[in-house]
Chain A
Amino acid sequence: MPRVTWKCSDGKTISADIETGVSLMEAAVNLNVPGIFGDCGGALSCATCHVVLDEAWQHIVPGPTDMEGEMLEVVEGGRTDRSRLSCQIRVTEQLDGIVLHVGV
């Protein structure tokens, strides 16, 4: 299973092997990653699953759709050019090793 790593703003790092097909938001909520809430359940309605892709992964993960882009404008802490809503990214084999920054 692909390995995913969340690096939190408080210095904490959480890594886990995640089944393919699961969204990065669901995975983070199950692991109690601080700062990832997924309040709306993945319906692009709350912007509470914001992550910033590690630089190395910026060009591997496809960019956000227009609808996601609209929600990204309102994330807490502000949007960066590597910002994504993690409910919109499903785990695939290509993402093995991905690093996400939370609460940046």
Chain B
Amino acid sequence: MEDKQNKVIADMAARLHEIAALPEDEARCLPGQFYTCPEFYQFEVETFLKKEWHCVGREDEVASPGDYFTTVLFDEPLLVIRGDDSEIRVLSNVCRHRGMPLAEGRGSARRLVCSYHAWSYARDGRLSNAPRMQDKGINAGNCSLPVFRSELWNGFIYVNLDDAAAPLSSRLQGLEALLDSYGTREMRIVHAQEEIWNTNWKCLVENFMEAYHLSVVHPETLHPYTPTGLSRKSMANDSFTSYCANYPEAAESRGFGAPGLSDEERKRSTLFCLFPTQIASQAATLLVSLSIQPLAVDKIMVRWTMSTYSNELTRDELDQRLALWNEVNREDREKLERMQRALSSRHAPSGHLAPRDYEGTIWDFYRYLSRSIEKPTTTSAEI
């Protein structure tokens, strides 16, 4: 049984490498099974997803000492909290006594108290008090909360569950150049929400990163501002890919934003994917970032935030943008959830990808996947 599963995965890995090796103008989609096979999903989780950096939110979601929010990444309950030293830490949200989650949702705490037996921890995760445990040798040295690796970049908070992972910052120069003028770091959070989508995590990455669907799926919401036809592939490297969704000449201004922006930058949204699970749209006055937290082969948690530059947009304008983004997400989600049900078909195709400006980012994504999943050394006939 296990051998059969290994063969399926090895065959799929080999197929991935074949597809990723196609020249850009002959690029094709991954066949349906890459989005529906539970064993392949588990393989992705164990081989690279759990070892990668994932964005969990924005720094100003935890603006003051004690501010926290909770989230879950690959079954690992996480507590993102700012300490008394103003450092942001990502702590294990699991009490060291019997495994109870310490906090839920978001809030602010003087210290973290377990609701089960009142063990308490300081804001940096150090055990403060374990009632009636004095004779058991329980202390801050052996029962403080584990701290996960985290990094801050451009106002985003990233976590890695793998203690041995290489640092994130060293691979961000390319993306740094793309976002240089926007003042991404200073953007101020106005909204955060979580929702469950019944789709494979890669489907949302691909959907967000391709412009081909914009005018079809979003005729009223996005087409007037970011029609497919004006979209252009932008920078990419081993860590990210991006495209520019350009606004038509006649479109009304979307705001001024940071003083250093060029006229072109003010007239487009730049969509990027920091591989593997952060997808975001950076515009002059608005930054929307979606963190994809895979839950199963056909299920994801989407944690998304909306931030704005300075105080240029009024509350009404921000509410309108939020309503627009909610509608756009609803439109995408409806398509992706319908497609997910069909991808199990034995006829689910490895179809041709559209030209570079419209779907070239997907080709970049496949090449990232092929770098993350080793090419099988044995041919399937030998297994």
Partner-B contacts on A (CB < 8 A): 32, 37, 39-41, 43, 45-48, 71, 74, 76
B129 engages A48 (CB within 8 Å) = yes
Binding-face segment, B110-118, B178-186, B207-215: B110-118
Pairwise interchain contact A74-B118, C-beta atoms closer than 8 A: no
Do residues A40 and B131 form an inter-chain contact, with CB atoms below 8 A? yes
Asked if residues B113 and A39 are in contact (CB atoms below 8 Å), the reply is yes
Q: Is B132 an interface residue (CB 8 A)?
A: yes
Residues of B91-125 whose CB lies within 8 A of A: 110-111, 113, 117-118, 120
**In the complex, residue of chain B having the shortest beta-carbon distance to the beta carbon of A44:** B131
Q: 0/1 per residue, B128-140, Cβ < 8 Å to A?
A: 1101101000000
- Contact across chains for B113 and A74 when beta carbons are under 8 A apart: no
Nearest CB in chain B: distance from A12 CB, A: 16
A87 to chain B, nearest CB (A): 12
Chain A residue at smallest Cβ distance from B113: A39
| Complex CA–CA separation, A41 to B118 (angstroms) | 9
| Residues of the A chain whose Cβ atoms lie less than 8 Å from the Cβ of B134 | 74
Chain B residues lying within 8 Å of A48, measured Cβ to Cβ, are: 120, 128-129
In the bound complex, do residue A46 and residue B118 qualify as a contact, i.e. CB atoms below 8 Å apart? yes
What are 8 A-B residue pairs whose CB atoms fall within 8 Å in the complex?
A32-B110, A37-B110, A39-B120, A40-B131, A43-B118, A46-B129, A46-B131, A74-B132
A-B contacts besides A39-B118, A46-B118, A48-B128, 18 pairs, CB < 8 Å: A32-B110, A37-B110, A37-B113, A37-B120, A37-B128, A37-B129, A39-B113, A39-B128, A39-B131, A40-B113, A40-B118, A45-B118, A46-B120, A47-B129, A47-B131, A48-B120, A74-B134, A76-B129
The distance in angstroms between the C-alpha atoms of A100 and B113, with both chains bound, is 24
Residues of B within 8 A of A47 (CB): 129, 131
* Closest B residue by C-beta to A34: B110
Shortest A34–chain B CB gap in Å is 10
Residues from chain A with a CB closer than 8 A to the CB of B128 are: 37, 39, 48
Those 5 A-B pairs whose CB atoms lie nearest each other, nearest first:
A40-B118, A46-B118, A39-B120, A39-B113, A46-B131
Q: Which residues of B lie under 8 Å from residue A76 when comparing CB positions?
A: 129
Residues on the A chain within 8 Å of B131, using CB: 39-40, 45-47, 71, 74
